[in-house]
Amino acid sequence: MKRGNRIRRDALRRYLIFRIKLIEVFHLSLLWTALSGEQFVPENVMGHSGRDFAASVRTTMLGWFCTIVDQSAGGLNIFSYLA
């Protein structure tokens, strides 16, 4: 495979992964908003409030966001394309 084709394929793969992860971060953000505002409280045997669930979703959301901006060799590092 030619170098140009390989670079294009890698860029397309990274873009698709970025789009999927970004949509998932938006979904987590919507869940967090609904949970923290007590608009949605999952039925649970633990008796946790929506805010308890929101704390877990927030941690997950921040972790997922970090995978988008990760600057290590395995990360997406979306900012590398802006330079």
pLDDT number for residue 82: 55
Determine the average pLDDT of the residues in 32-45. Answer: 90
Mean of pLDDT over the chain = 84
- What range defines the domain where residue 19 resides? 3-81
For residue 65, what pLDDT is reported?
A: 83
Q: How confident is the model at residue 79 (pLDDT cuts 50, 70, 90)?
A: low
Query: Which residue from 70, 80, 64 is spatially nearest to 25, judged by alpha carbons?
Result: 64
Domain count, the chain: 1
* Chain-centroid distance, C-alpha 56: 14
In three-state secondary structure terms, 72 is coil
